[in-house]
Amino acid sequence: MSEARRHLDQAEALCRERGVRLTPQRRTVLRLICEAERPLSAYEILDRMHQGARRPAPPTVYRALDFLLQQGLIHKIESLHAFVGCKHPQHPHTGQFLVCTDCGRVNEIHGRPLEDGLQQAARQAGFHTRKPVVELLGTCAHCHGRDC
Amino acid sequence: MSEARRHLDQAEALCRERGVRLTPQRRTVLRLICEAERPLSAYEILDRMHQGARRPAPPTVYRALDFLLQQGLIHKIESLHAFVGCKHPQHPHTGQFLVCTDCGRVNEIHGRPLEDGLQQAARQAGFHTRKPVVELLGTCAHCHGRDC
DNA sequence: TCATAGTTGTTACATTATAACATTTCATCC
DNA sequence: GGATGAAATGTTATAATGTAACAACTATGA
């Protein structure tokens, strides 16, 4: 089964469990994000939504994105204004990302020491973190040392 | 001496050392950023630049911001589309930020363990980091537990 | 069936950012 | 001082990203 397909099925199941509706529109947006091999901007998604038919207006895609973000099915990469599928939507979490500026691909990483370090640094300042944004921009292993 | 004033003098000295020009326009943008007690968007800076005179066009402020970013005199907070003064411009560095979504203030933090954790996580994936974006959004000690 | 909450459609507009080219200013050399 | 080239700024237009507000539709349960 394809990676994208697995994501969609899992999302379907999660939404059923949670009693929220993964409508066709939302499903389409999620599918487009999962099928892409790099983050898509809202307007790239819009462009891919109108297969023959008329292109929907921006609020359409932004509303679907809001829903998917709330459900933890996708993440937003702030420094790219773009969206990627979440690799582990079962338990809601924030992501840390390795963003390759050569090939455009994004890797979601996890690491106790990393997350602990962040939490500790925040706590030292009496700060309560609600939404960490951690995006390392650079060159991935694949692209490093070659033209891309 | 005021905090903002100290920043400006330091910037002045650094630019002289480096042989780059902190022109009046760039200095004004830096001053506005340093005087503000929260991050300013490019257009907020534009609004504050025209004291009586005609408001400059966007490229004016974006060019000044580019210069200041290059010189490490300011940082951009990606998740806010806004700019803050750098607390330690002597040696170029990337910043980690605690962004209070109540009062809007931003705290620049530093921590070996944090930075090491990030670098280690990246290296494990064979990733070469060029520009880390670390912004923890939440509530600062001052705002936590009260209306703000 | 009817009420209602949730979802989608639609128009208009706000905000953020850059491309492209003209003009001016500055430092340097002669 | 005047010529020259590089850097900085001015100007116009437009691209890219994101939201407010209200109308219309749809699924679902009382």
Confidence band (pLDDT; 50, 70, 90) for B10?
A: very high
B31 HSE (CA, 13 A, CB side): 12
Rounded to whole angstroms, how far apart are CA atoms B11 and B99?
24
Beta-bridge mates of residue B100: B138
Q: Torsions phi, psi of A111, nearest 5?
A: -170, 120
The predicted model gives B25-43 an average pLDDT of 97
Given this model, what pLDDT does residue A78 score? 97
Q: What are phi and psi of B134, to 5 degrees?
A: -125, 110
Instruction: Find which of A87, A127, A142, A143 to mutate to test the B interface (most B CBs within 10 Å of its CB).
Output: A127
Chain A contact present for B94, CB below 8 A: no
Q: Is B132 on the interface with A (CB under 8 A)?
A: yes
The CA distance from B72 to B82, in Å, is: 15
- Going by pLDDT thresholds of 50, 70 and 90, the confidence category of residue B148 is very low
Which of A66-75, B73-82, B137-146 bottoms out in mean pLDDT, i.e. has the lowest? B137-146
Residue B121 distance to chain A (closest CA, Å): 7
Amino acid at A132: P
Sign of CA dihedral B68, A104, B96, B142: positive
Nucleotides of C under 7 A from a protein CB: 6-12, 15-20, 26-27
Distance from residue B78's CA to nucleotide C5's C1', rounded to whole Å: 36
The C1' atom of C16 and the CA atom of A1 lie apart, in whole Å, by 41
Per the model's pLDDT, the better-predicted residue between B94 and B47 turns out to be B47
Mean per-residue pLDDT of chain A:
91
**Looking at the predicted structure, is the pLDDT value of residue B28 above 90?**
yes
* pLDDT above 90 coverage of chain B, percent: 75
